[in-house]
Amino acid sequence: MITPKMVPSIPIAPRRWPLLGHMRVIAKEQHAFLLEMERTLGPVFWINMGFGIWSIVVTGEEAHTIMKNKATRSDLLDKQVPHITGHTLLVNDGTEHRRMRGAMNGPFTPKGINAADIGKMIYDVVEEHFESWEDDASLDIHHITNVFALDVIFRILGIEGADLPLWRKKFSEFIGPGMLLPFEFPGSPKWKSKKAQEWMDERFSVLVKQAREKSDTQSMLGALAHGADERGRRLEDKELLANLRILALAGHETTASVLAWVMLHLSHSPKHWDLLLEEVRQSPNEPITPKTMASYPLAEAVFRECLRLYPPVSLLPPRRVAEEMEIYGHTIPVNTRVVASLISLSKDAAAYPDPLSFQPERWLGREKRPGPLESVQFGGGPHFCLGYHLALLEGVQFIVSATRYLDKHNLRPTLQGDLPTPKYLPLTRPPKTHIELHAA
Ligand code: HEM
């Protein structure tokens, strides 16, 4: 791998520890650190992610060059956790990636989401999750949104409600914290992770077979099981299974984290809660399609603003430079690790005045829908989030349903004290924080 000695024109970020490099500061105060580095060093600098692994972080608009994946490749992740990312969209590029993406895109478009009645499915899961919301309840909000988002994605992928607790357990073994450790023996976290993967694959195989036998092309799983790109090329079965797993991974913690921040901010800002109540009371239709979602501009604005302030994927997974490239006038050699800082683009003061403050209003009254630059929290280029429309629908629906439910039960969410400081790695998320429900 390439080290700073080979590209000395790019500065090395300070606050580096022996052995751990910048890992500590990235884990503890990532956003503030990256914003400070951009201010003091400029839009490109070296960081060390521990044990001699160097990456160039790009904070300015040239980060988009990295995401375009013309001179860069996404295969680094596959070396770390091959049993999780192998054969998936995430680690493929070029023709292979286009084939996979072409075979999977359909059900994730607004049309595909409508055809599979995903909105209604999400609505049902939301309702089930509100049963414990009562007067004087104290809710561990990130835990709640996490279980909710995992249930949503499993239900969408054809898992029955009664089976969800077991799937949750297996899934937590699959992505358990020890999976990155190098050793593996019976009972070790990595061994358990692989066993859980086999368990899920066996069950997904049965569901895929059933969907094919029934010629089901409507449901999300059915559409994926039958999916083909414009040249009629389908996913191989091992690719389909790997991608079903990655959908659950990519599609739950990200949405869960944003929704937890949404509830924390709404509990902390009575003004925005009141405005949202007004919006929800005026619109009787549930936002179960991307079209009916349009009746809830403030709910979407709150979601987008929390996404902007706390992008779950604040640093894009590192790319490997495959062809020598230029970034801000520096020549970057082949095999350098380069990282696009989505958090820096998200908090760019030129695009968002007073970028650190919570102002959902900045998303309202626009003539055009937010474009790719304003949705950069979902990445960019060919790997732009497959679940973009689904995440927005799920987010708006959760916010509207939570508001309606609490209004109906005459409850109001409140947060004691200040908003918490985010935690980082692997994703930006709030620490365990409770919100309280009290009579309005
Ligand atoms: C707020 C919610 C979400 C955020 C912030 C988010 C963010 C991202 C980002 C930044 C990427 C790009 C990764 C890269 O370039 O290396 C990505 C890719 C992806 N996301 Fe999402 N995501 C969200 C929700 C979802 C959902 C709900 C799903 C599906 C159920 C999903 C599925 C995927 C998949 C499959 C990819 C890989 C696409 C590819 O490589 O072509 N995501 N997401």
Q: Ligand 1 centroid to 410 CA: how many Å?
A: 36
DSSP secondary structure of 131-183: TT--TT-EEEHHHHHHHHHHHHHHHHTT--GGGHHHHHHHHHHHT-GGGGSS-
Mean pLDDT along residues 332-354: 95
Closest Cα to atom 24 of ligand 1: 251
Model confidence at 181: pLDDT above 80: no
pLDDT tens sequence across 417-426 = 999 999 998 8
Q: Which residue among 67, 378, 397 is best mutated to probe the pocket of ligand 1, counting the most ligand atoms within 8 A of its Cβ?
A: 378
Phi and psi, residue 12, nearest 5°: -95, 130
Closest Cα to atom 2 of ligand 1: 255
The finding on whether 56 has its CB within 6 A of some atom of ligand 1 is no
Question: Cα separations (Å) of 60 from 14, 34, 275, 277, 343?
Answer: 19, 11, 34, 38, 10
How many residues are listed for the chain in this entry? 440
pTM of the model: 0.96
pLDDT tens sequence across 233-242 = 999 999 999 9
Model confidence at 316: pLDDT above 80: yes
Tokens 């900045």 found at:
362
Which atom of ligand 1 is closest in space to residue 149's alpha carbon? 27
Quick one: pLDDT at residue 131?
78
Quick one: pLDDT at residue 168?
95
Closest Cα to atom 8 of ligand 1: 378
Quick one: pLDDT at residue 68?
94
Quick one: pLDDT at residue 82?
85
> At 51, which amino acid appears?
F
Model confidence at 71: pLDDT above 80: yes
The finding on whether 227 has its CB within 6 A of some atom of ligand 1 is no
The finding on whether 312 has its CB within 6 A of some atom of ligand 1 is yes
Q: Which residues pair with 326 in a beta bridge?
A: 331
% of the chain surpassing 90 pLDDT: 85
Would you place residue 121 in the very low, low, confident or very high pLDDT band (cuts 50, 70, 90)?
Answer: very high
The finding on whether 327 has its CB within 6 A of some atom of ligand 1 is no
Summary mean pLDDT of the chain: 94
Domain 60-439 class in CATH: mainly alpha
Which atom of ligand 1 is closest in space to residue 342's alpha carbon? 10
Query: Beta 330-332 vs 434-439: how paired, if at all?
Result: unpaired
